[in-house]
C-alpha cells in the first residue's frame, strides 16, 4: 500500500528533528530552513541531470500553490516553536490530518457524494486524541497569537498535502514536487537570514546541516509519494506515527520516558493507524 510511505516519511522527519535539536545552539531557524532546503535543491538538480530529466513543468501554478502553502505552514510552525512549549507546537501542527479529513468530507459533500468512510475519519480524530495524551500540550493565556499561528500552520499544511495529491493525480513526478517546495524553502530561508544573519559554518555544523537536508529530502519524497499515490485519509492518519518515533528517540537519547497517559496515547495512535490501514476509503 502506497500510504505506508508515510511511515518512512514520519521516521525521517523525526531524524531531521533530532539533527535540528542538536544544531539549534549554533544556528538560527532561518539558517536551518535555508540549508535544509538548499541541500534538497542541489541533490534533486544533480539527480535530474544524471537521469536526463527536466525541472520544466506544465503545472507551474499548482507547484506555486503547493510551495506557498507549505512555506507558510513551515514559517508559522517555526514561529510557534519559538513561542510555545515544544509539545504544544507539535500538537497544533499535528492537527493537519483533522483538517485534511474535513477538506475531504467537504469536497465530497459539494460533489453530492457520501462515499467518505466516517469510521476512517473517526480513527483520525482518535489518533489526534492519542497525540494530545502523549504530548500533553499546555498554552499560556499570553501566547494566544502563537497558538493561532500553530493552528493555522496545520491548516496550510493540510492544503499543501491536498495540492500534492492533485499534482500526483496530474502525473507530476514526486521528485519535481519536492524540488519546487525546496526552492520555496530556499527563498524563505534567504529572507530569514537576511534579517537574522548567518553564523560561521563548522565541521560539526556542516555534518548536522547535511543530516537535516538529507533527512528532510527523503522525508518529503516519501510524504509526496504517500499522498500522491496512496489513500488520502489513510496517509493523513499515519502521520501520527511521527509522534511515536519522536517519543522513542527521546527515550533512547535523552531518557525522557512518557507518563501513563503517554503510553495510553501511543496505544491509541497505533490502534488508529491499524484501523486506517484496514479500512481504506475509496473516495479519498
CA R_g for the chain:
18
Cell 529572507 belongs to residue = 191
- The reported pTM is 0.87
The number of angstroms, rounded, from the C-alpha of 126 to the middle of its chain's C-alpha atoms is 19
The pLDDT value given to residue 283: 44
Instruction: Quote the crossing angle between the two packed helices 203-229 and 144-169, to the nearest 10°.
Output: 60
pLDDT over threshold 90, residue 65:
yes
The pLDDT value given to residue 91: 77
- What CA–CA distance (Å, rounded) separates 226 from 218? 12
Produce one character per residue of 176-199: b if its CB has 16 or more CB atoms within 10 Å, e if not.
bbbbbbbbbbbebbeebbeeeeee
Between vectors from CA 76 to CA 42 and to CA 203, what angle results, nearest 5°?
A: 40
| pLDDT cut 70: percent of the chain above it | 93
| pLDDT cut 90: percent of the chain above it | 41
Closest by CA to 97, choosing from 77, 78, 121, is 121
Q: What's the DSSP call for residue 215?
A: H
The pLDDT value given to residue 262: 86
Q: Mind listing the pLDDT tens digit for each residue in 211-246? A: 999 999 999 999 999 998 888 888 999 999 888 888
pLDDT over threshold 60, residue 28:
yes
pLDDT over threshold 80, residue 197:
yes
Mean pLDDT over 111-137 rounds to 79
Amino acid at each position: 500500500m502506497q500510504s505506508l510511505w508515510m511511515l518512512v516519511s514520519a521516521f525521517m522527519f523525526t531524524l531531521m528533528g533530532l539533527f535540528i535539536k542538536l544544531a539549534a545552539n549554533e544556528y538560527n531557524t532561518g539558517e536551518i530552513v535555508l540549508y535544509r532546503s538548499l541541500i534538497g535543491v542541489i541533490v534533486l538538480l544533480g539527480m535530474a541531470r544524471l537521469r536526463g530529466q527536466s525541472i520544466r513543468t506544465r503545472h507551474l501554478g499548482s507547484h506555486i500553490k503547493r510551495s506557498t502553502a507549505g512555506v507558510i505552514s513551515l514559517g508559522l510552525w517555526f514561529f510557534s516553536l519559538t513561542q510555545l512549549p515544544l509539545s504544544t507546537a507539535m500538537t497544533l501542527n499535528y492537527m493537519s490530518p483533522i483538517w485534511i479529513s474535513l477538506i475531504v468530507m467537504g469536497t465530497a459533500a459539494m460533489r453530492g457524494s457520501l462515499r467518505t468512510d466516517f469510521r476512517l475519519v473517526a480513527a483520525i480524530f482518535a489518533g489526534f486524541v492519542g497525540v494530545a495524551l502523549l504530548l500533553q500540550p499546555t498554552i499560556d493565556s499570553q501566547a494566544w497569537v502563537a497558538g493561532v499561528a500553530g493552528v493555522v500552520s496545520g491548516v496550510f499544511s493540510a492544503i499543501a498535502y491536498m495540492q500534492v495529491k492533485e499534482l500526483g493525480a496530474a502525473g507530476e513526478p514526486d521528485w519535481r514536487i519536492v524540488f519546487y517546495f525546496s526552492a520555496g524553502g530556499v527563498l524563505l530561508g534567504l529572507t530569514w537570514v537576511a534579517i537574522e544573519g548567518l553564523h560561521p559554518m563548522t565541521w560539526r555544523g556542516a555534518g548536522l546541516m547535511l543530516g537535516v537536508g538529507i533527512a528532510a529530502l527523503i522525508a518529503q519524497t516519501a510524504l509526496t509519494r504517500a499522498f500522491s499515490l496512496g489513500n488520502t485519509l489513510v496517509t493523513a492518519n499515519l502521520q501520527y506515527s511521527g509522534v511515536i518515533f519522536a517519543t522513542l528517540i527521546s527515550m533512547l537519547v535523552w531518557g525522557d520516558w512518557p507518563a501513563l497517559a503517554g503510553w495510553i496515547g501511543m496505544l491509541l495512535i497505533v490502534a488508529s493507524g491499524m484501523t486506517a490501514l484496514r479500512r481504506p476509503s475509496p473516495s479519498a
